[in-house]
Amino acid sequence: MKVGALAAGGLLVSKQVADAAEADAAFMLPELDYGFDALEPHIDAMTMEIHHGKHHAGYVAKLNEAVAANKDLAGKTIEELLGDLKSISDESLMAAVRNNGGGHWNHAMFWKSLAPEGKTGKASDDLTAAINAGFGSMEKMQEEFGKAAGSRFGSGWAWLIEKDGKLMITSTPNQDAPVMKGVVPDTDLGKALLGLDVWEHAYYLKYQNKRPDYVAAFWNIVNWDAVSKRLEA
């Protein structure tokens, strides 16, 4: 190929290929509802840009690769895929869907759980009542959530969940998601109301090893309107 053709036509062709690939892809990286710098100073803009544009985008791309490799997985929603991991008999394919599908679901939920300080809304009366019933107070709930986030060894997530009408705190390793069924631990975690990413990529640029400081800052940017709506849903 001539250099000129590559420079002139090559860029256009590769953009068309990229657009076509995106249009065919089963899953897309969701846009954020706020700017990368909107959560400052609690989560810095560079962390947000890399976290969304590289980490989450990477999970989406690898999930799409995994789904494209097996026609049995085609056309399923992310919840259907994660809710039926046992049906994927190929171990490496199951692992790819578990890790990247979980990564996609968890991050999509995480971005919606955050809002700029001052625009976080507030916990509904029902949510407040459920938190008080489950933990005694909002402060006690945050304390317990912080313990789960701090004691999750290595990478994972801390969760506020609702199960059988009760609120509970739990955590998951790696990218395991509350919507997963049939993986180890083979438990039904219930409905996720709020999740916090405690992978180092979520906080290391600003907080380094100080995960508790990141968890404390998180409470300034929790989208309580979104959490309240999840309880109602």
**Residue 176 within binding range of Mn ion, rule CB under 5 A:** no
State in angstroms the smallest separation of the CB of 158 from Mn ion. 13
Closest residue by beta carbon to Mn ion: 197
CB < 8 Å & 24+ apart, contacts of 69-75: 69/93, 73/97, 74/26, 75/26
Residue (105 or 224) nearer to Mn ion, CB: 105
Residue (199 or 214) nearer to Mn ion, CB: 199
Q: How many positions of this chain bind Mn ion (CB under 5 A)?
A: 3
Residue (168 or 202) nearer to Mn ion, CB: 202
Rounded Cα distance, 169 and 157, in Å: 11
- 66 and 73 Cβ atoms separated by less than 8 Å: yes
Residue (27 or 135) nearer to Mn ion, CB: 27
State in angstroms the smallest separation of the CB of 50 from Mn ion. 10
- Between residue 22 and residue 41, which ones bind Mn ion under the rule CB under 5 A? none
State in angstroms the smallest separation of the CB of 177 from Mn ion. 12
Q: Tell me if the bond preceding 116 is cis, omega within 30° of 0.
A: no
What 3-state DSSP class applies to 222?
strand
| Helix and strand element counts for the chain (H, E) | 12, 3
Residue (60 or 202) nearer to Mn ion, CB: 202
- 88 and 94 Cβ atoms separated by less than 8 Å: yes
State in angstroms the smallest separation of the CB of 229 from Mn ion. 23
State in angstroms the smallest separation of the CB of 10 from Mn ion. 34
Bridge pairing between strands 166-173 and 191-197: unpaired
Output the DSSP codes for 156-218: EEEEEEEETTEEEEEEEETT--TT--SSSS-----EEEEEEE-SGGGTHHHHTT-HHHHHHHH
Residue (199 or 224) nearer to Mn ion, CB: 199
- Between residue 185 and residue 204, which ones bind Mn ion under the rule CB under 5 A? 197, 199, 202
State in angstroms the smallest separation of the CB of 121 from Mn ion. 23
Residues within the interface to Mn ion (CB under 5 A): 197, 199, 202
